[in-house]
Every structure is written in C-alpha cells, then in structure tokens.
Structure 1
C-alpha cells in the first residue's frame, strides 16, 4: 500500500500521501477502511515519526483520513482532489449568511472544501465544535458573534490558521479578519437620514443582547445623544403595539414581520404613520410593503475578500463596506 523510494526527488512524506491517494483512486482503499499506523509505516520503511506524521496531518486537514482515538486512522473521504479543507463556524443560518457562504465557496475554487457548523450563540456549543475539530482542517474561519472571552477557546487552534469573520472583539485583534464596524455603520447611516427620522416622535432600537452586536447599541445611543433625540431600547416586538409616530430600527427579520403584521392590524400606514429601518438587505425587504429601508453590509464582498486572504495567506483586519438603501418604509 505504501511505496517509498529513495533518490527520486519526491519528499518521503509526499510519497506516503501519493501512495494512499493512489490506493483510493484504484479502489484498493475505500471509505471506512483502516490504514497502517504511524509506527507501522515508520518501522517498515525506516522513516522518522515526524515524516509520517506530516503526511497524515496533511491528509487529515484535507478530510481524506480521520483519526479515531484508540483505534487508528481510517479513510473518511474518497475525494482525493480536495487540496484543503476549511472549518467554517457561523452563528446561525439566514439568507445573507447563505450569500456569504456561497461567495466564499465560489471564490475559493473546487479544490478547497468548506464544512459549515453553527453555534447558535451558545458558548458551550462554540467550545465543543472547536475543540472537537482541532487539527482536522487546513484553516478555521470563526464567527464569534457577541460571545464573550472566545479567545481562550480559539487559542486551542494554530493561530496561523485562524480567520475571524463579521464581529471583531478587542481580544481577537491579533487574528486576520473581515469584519463589520456596527457602531460606525449604524451611526453614520442614521445621520444620513436624520431629516427623515425627525418626522417621527419616538425612536426604538430592537436589541436582543444575546444576539445583536454591542456596536449596534453603542452607535444608536451615540446618535441619539449627539442629536438630542430620545431613543428607547426594546428586546423584541412580540408584545409591542405600534403607534403613530413610532420609528423602529430592527436588526432581525422575525421582529420586522411582527411589526408589519401589527401595523396592519391597527390600520397604520408605513412611512406616513410609522417608520422602519431594517438591517441586512434581502429580496424580501426589497419587495414587502413597497420596500423596507435597510442598512446592509455587502456579504458577497465579505466572502470574496476572505477567500483572497486565505488563498494569499494575508494577515490583515479589513472592515467590510456597508450602505444605506432608502425605500418606502422611511
């Protein structure tokens, strides 16, 4: 199964990789089959342990083999064309995260495989997913969301293989990242429509502190203070009955649909009676009620730029652009 030759100009660790790949392609090895152990290969071919381990680590990072504690190494994929395998940890799946995923996948190319996981804003799940996958991937793309003290968990990964996505916490500033500046985005874009905001009597930010970025809250608070406006924070709109003169800034889609439904129930007219500014643009927001005004980052650009950083091994922190799209709701 393993063929090693001297003086042929191919490193011996690469010959181990080639031997295993050829066995998979020929059908001699199939998914689930056990391969010889590190010690078996080392002793039979008189190699150093590091040489064999280097080969196994590369195959493991590409997802071709996996290790099972106490049992050994097994074939986990018959796709030998994958050159790299990337661990992608998102907070949750939604329409714009799907755009981000697709842009990243398309920009990386077919030789790089993405495996996506979700922590759902749960730190225990975040920790388990990372610790269970240490050493299994070529790179790790981590979306920490607003979870606190994630560095102590992320530090279990090789630092040169980690990229941070979307939210950039102070303690993660040593890692390369493509991130959103939520405070600046909210503040600056609200400032652009201050003349419209002043047509309303009450200004609300819907903010669930377990899910929404802290920068969004600080940007809203700063805008209200600098412009002498009274702003209120509400956790959700489940029990909130809209009144004429209300303006809502709504980061999540569930509360957006709630307020539109209640608005119709009490016969209020969007834009005239109440205003809505949503976060993150989707096709739904372009069409519903004649269009919902949004503050949105460009998730396609985020995915493409992250792919460039991975492919070029760039170590930068890049702020992703955002824009205000004014529609019928304001």
Structure 2
C-alpha cells in the first residue's frame, strides 16, 4: 500500500502536496481503484517520518476533492476513480508569435484532455519570470519553459533551479550542464543555421553576397550570428550583417537576404517590387521560421526553420510517457521559389 507514495526530503514541493500527488498519480495510473484502502494518518506519518498535521492536511485536501472517504473505525479508502485527474501544466514562453503559437497548439492538442494548461509570457524579463515561478511554485505538475533571456544569467539559473528537475521541461534552447537533469526539446542555433545553409549552398552560390538581417530591437539567440559567420567563412561566402531593412531602402541586385523578423521580410519584398527586381533571380530571400503564409507568399518563400509542431508534440510526449531526456528538434532548409 505504501508503494504508491513518493515522498522525498530533497524535493522542493511541500510534503503534503507530495502526498496528494502520490495518490492522484496512483489513481491516474490505475494503481489505486475505488474501495482500495490507503495508509492511516498514523501509519503514513510513522513510515515517512512526517508530522500528523502534514498528513492530515493532505488527506483533508483529498477528501474535499472527492478522492478519499473516511470510514469510522476502519480508515481511509479511495472513494472515486472517475474524478478527472489531468496534469496541471504551466507554460512560460518568452513571447507569442506565429511559430510559438504552432508549438503551443501542437502541445495542447497532443496533451488532449489529460492536461489543464496555463500560458504566461515573460517577455525575456527576468523579474517577471521570477514572479511567475515563485507565485506558482507548488501549483503545477510540470513547468514547460522557454528560457530566452539575454541578461543576468546567474539570476535566471537560480530561478530555474527552484523548480524540481523532474517537473521541468526546457523548450527551444539548451542550457548549461548545471541543468543536466531536466528534460528538453531544443534547437542548436549555431549548428542548425550552419547545416541548413550548407544544404542550400548550390542556391546560395547564385548570388554574390549573403546578408543576415539580425534585429537589434528584438532579442534573438546570438548563436544564430555565430553559426552564420562560421558558414560564410568556411565556404568563402561574402557576407554582411545588418540590423534592419527599412521600407525604401535599396535592395542590392545579386544579393541573398536571410530575414528573421517578418517586418523586415515585408519591407524587403516591397523594396524589390519598387525596384522591379525579380525575387529568386535578382534577389534571393531566406526567411527564418516556417509559417503557413510563407508557403504561399510569392509562390513560396524559402525558409530555414525548426519543426515547431514536432517541438510541441515531443514536449507533450515526454510528460505522457514520463520520459526525462533531451531531444534535438529537427531543423531544415525548405527550398522554394524565393531563392
């Protein structure tokens, strides 16, 4: 009977919540059925060296939720197993964009009715992120985090470490070895862009120069620039990095542009039209991150992109299958007419 309880001293979750979740997890997994007895308050207290108040608090919570019933002189029994016991999951994203929505939708769809999911946006603001973690520290079974922060890495590390490793899933970005116990689905930004561009080298060679439009106002992983420079250096491709493409700015004939922000993509297309430059011949365009619109815009915009749907599905699968591993998400160049 005690095997359903998983109570550890080194967990950051309060003991009473560990008791509650041990019972609800056992119900979810079919280990406890209606009418099954569980340890009495004294028995559980003695076995795990817990205070009676802690066990009593947990059992009161379970009774209010309908999981337990007490029978005078006999003890506590499982009252219902048809009570919904979905996972409680908090998603902490850095921003909402078309491709982040794809991750979110794929994750929600894959979890189905087995999860109650809350989404909060930290905007790469360390203090806002800290408030989300601290204020909701014991409320969720899993915390799925996109850790795109560009300042105060030591503080961010300390905040993330407040979450037990078994409840933590890191999305989109790999972290340092200090977080070796967490599960994650990540992009390798430096090597991803290098390998994707290398797979399209035959198309890139059509152009005299390669320009990366890397925004200053909106933060993106610096590894993108590192991988881009490495590719150009290794393959002797003339290149430039600029912060933006303004409307009315001349597009240079014989140049291929890698564009991250969609505003820059729109301005580049407008500038090509005003200069009567043929996209895919006079000018090459590679856009970062796949969206449905890019598949049809200009008869197809070439993209370099991770598989956002796969990322959401992989994260959900780790929870449903109780896996703790790190998985590199697929990244590719999708050839279309703009290159």
Q: Residue 48 of structure 1 corresponds to which residue in structure 2?
A: 52
Deviation at 1:108?
1.5
Q: 1:304 is paired with a residue of what secondary structure?
A: helix
Asked if residue 255 in structure 1 is aligned to residue 264 in structure 2, the reply is: yes
Alignment partner of 2:108 out of 105, 108, 124: 105
Alignment of 1:1-330 (within 5 A): 48-54=52-58, 81-148=84-151, 149=153, 150-170=156-176, 171-208=178-215, 210-238=218-246, 240-330=249-339
- 2-side partners of 1:282 and 1:231: how far apart? 26
Q: 1:109 is paired with a residue of what secondary structure?
A: helix
Uncovered stretches (5+) of structure 1, i.e. residues with no partner:
1-6, 19-46, 63-79
Cα deviations by residue, 1:151-196 (Å, 9 ceiling, x for unpaired): 1111122222111000112254442100011222211111122122
Cα deviations by residue, 1:131-154 (Å, 9 ceiling, x for unpaired): 222112111000012434121111
Say how many residue pairs are matched: 275
> Do the aligned partners of 1:86 and 1:114 also contact (CA within 8 Å) in 2?
yes
Distance 1:125 1:236, change over 3 A: farther
Distance 1:250 1:58, change over 3 A: farther
Q: TM-score, normalised by structure 1?
A: 0.75
Distance 1:109 1:235, change over 3 A: same
Q: 1:157 is paired with a residue of what secondary structure?
A: coil
- 1-side partners of 2:269 and 2:60: how far apart? 55
Q: 1:329 is paired with a residue of what secondary structure?
A: coil
Distance 1:155 1:296, change over 3 A: same
Cα deviations by residue, 1:215-268 (Å, 9 ceiling, x for unpaired): 211110100110112221112212643121221111222211121122212221
- 1-side partners of 2:277 and 2:56: how far apart? 70
Deviation at 1:211?
2.1
Q: Residue 79 of structure 2 corresponds to which residue in structure 1?
A: none
Q: 1:238 is paired with a residue of what secondary structure?
A: coil
Distance 1:125 1:193, change over 3 A: same
Deviation at 1:53?
4.3
- 2-side partners of 1:57 and 1:138: how far apart? 16
Q: 1:269 is paired with a residue of what secondary structure?
A: coil
Deviation at 1:82?
4.6
- 1-side partners of 2:61 and 2:250: how far apart? 58
- 2-side partners of 1:55 and 1:90: how far apart? 34
- 2-side partners of 1:323 and 1:52: how far apart? 54
- 2-side partners of 1:314 and 1:110: how far apart? 19
Deviation at 1:122?
2.3
Distance 1:84 1:57, change over 3 A: farther
- 2-side partners of 1:261 and 1:215: how far apart? 29
> Do the aligned partners of 1:123 and 1:147 also contact (CA within 8 Å) in 2?
no
Q: 2:120 is paired with a residue of what secondary structure?
A: strand
> Do the aligned partners of 2:86 and 2:113 also contact (CA within 8 Å) in 1?
no
Cα deviations by residue, 1:1-33 (Å, 9 ceiling, x for unpaired): xxxxxx9xx99966xx99xxxxxxxxxxxxxxx
